[in-house]
Amino acid sequence: MMQYQRSSALFNEAKKVIPGGVNSPVRAFKAVGGTPIFLTHAKGAYLYDEDGNRYIDYIASWGPMILGHAHPKVIDAIKSRADKGTSYGIPTELETQIAHLALSMVPNMEQIRFVNSGTEACMSAVRLARGFTGRDKIIKFAGCYHGHADAFLIQAGSGAVTFGSPNSPGVTAGTAQDTLLARYNDLDQVTDIFEANPEQIAAIIVEPVAGNMGCILPDEGFLEGLRSLCDLHGAVLIFDEVMTGFRLAAGGAQERLGVRADMVTYGKVIGGGLPVGAFAARKEIMDFLAPVGPVYQAGTLSGNPLAMSAGLAQLQLLQQHPQVYTSLDKKTEYLHQEMIPLLDRKGIAYQINRLGSMMSAHFTDSPVVDFASAAKGNNESFKKYFHGMLAQGVYLPPSAFESYFLNDAITQKDLEQTLEAFSKTLTRL
Ligand code: HOZ
């Protein structure tokens, strides 16, 4: 029986000085109940909490730790760079090195600008698309999450929907009116929106594989259809690859799914576990960005040397060891395939969605293809599932609206242990 006394005490103390005791809402376990675990450290595939419990980690810091925690090469890069100073606000060669490497790994992008988070990347990409096209409106999809900038908190997924505020108070009506909403995987609706707003739509922003309403795959032809509509109407197609970038393949979803975007946003894996976001596009678009062009965007910690070192080290590892992607796919597929007979035997309604090392389980009998179908999942079953797994040392995302992210340090033994925990948990659902 796991004990959580120290985590519980630390959570109570944190709540006195930090809203809800956390710096990002999903971490508070509000959607699943109980006390969030507080960590002392993480290594490889494992998380270690303040009460001495060990967990197999299936969130990988929500994506970045694709090679497992505290990879020696990434840690060495950070340590050796730290001795040289941690922030200058003046360029370094490191920024050009990681830019070259990132651009060589992803298809179709000519220039990249580094920022500090996925939120900043998406916010800046939309501003640039507006500056480039001279138009105001954007199309986003219900349940997609592009960070917490105002324009995106309209039917947003992830933590926003987990806590029942997909339309956040504080976002002005003026901002909301420029964000046009469509259903994920509904191309006809996007066509109608374009027709109803001629020459007003600057961009479509989309998660090519949605990871913020659980994991939801694009239907065949959906992304290709968005590509054609953007071409037809002169709008910019922005792929939010904050989750999928450098994860579904070295070249992200663009490579894996064979559809090219005009602009792509990155985060998570690109920073090796330090705060990095980035947005990339062809030069013609990036030329609109300051200091070359008129669209302003800046940041004291952008291109921070520690963050660039961590990101560069992790991208180099991924480039040198492309077999990581096959290995991750195999592990995730094994987990997926072995869960199926256990669920079937239990006779419970379920859907499992997966692509590469992103996956989610939903307790519902209808296919999960968009936000409305994701929201049909039985949350009571999800809560028991989450806590059953946690109590047996498996850390899953503490919300049904988040994706699992596997890391390559997970071993076959860890997968067997996870499936054993899964089998026992199912008996209690
Ligand atoms: N909702 C975020 C991931 N989609 C959670 C981030 C965090 O809590 O660290």
- Taking only the tens place, the pLDDT of each residue in 253-279 is 999 999 999 999 999 999 999 999 999
The whole-angstrom separation of Cα 107 and Cα 248 is 13
Catalytic residue among 57, 178, 240, 414: 240
Question: Catalytic residue at 268?
Answer: yes
What number is the average pLDDT over the span 330-335? 98
pLDDT, residue 168, reads: 84
Average pLDDT of the chain is 96
Residues 6+ apart with CB under 8 A from 157: 142, 143, 144, 145, 166, 210, 212, 213, 371, 401
Residues 6+ apart with CB under 8 A from 200: 135, 136, 137
371 in Cβ contact with 213 (< 8 Å): yes
Q: Which atom of ligand 1 is nearest to the CA of 62?
A: 3
pLDDT, residue 256, reads: 98
Catalytic residue among 145, 350, 385, 395: 145
The whole-angstrom separation of Cα 418 and Cα 422 is 6
pLDDT, residue 165, reads: 62
pLDDT at 286 over 70: yes
| Å from CA of 25 to ligand 1 middle | 7
Substitution site in 32, 37, 158, 396 for ligand 1 pocket (most atoms within 8 Å of beta carbon): 158
Which tokens hold the place of 321?
């060891």
pLDDT, residue 167, reads: 78
| Å from CA of 135 to ligand 1 middle | 31
- Taking only the tens place, the pLDDT of each residue in 97-122 is 999 999 999 999 999 999 999 999 99
pLDDT, residue 174, reads: 87
Phi-psi region of 202 (alpha: psi -120 to 50; beta: other; left: phi over 0): alpha
Question: Catalytic residue at 283?
Answer: no
Question: Catalytic residue at 240?
Answer: yes
pLDDT at 164 over 70: no
Domains, the chain, in order of start with CATH, read 5-70+322-426 (3.90.1150.10), 72-320 (3.40.640.10)
pLDDT at 211 over 70: yes
What number is the average pLDDT over the span 359-363? 97
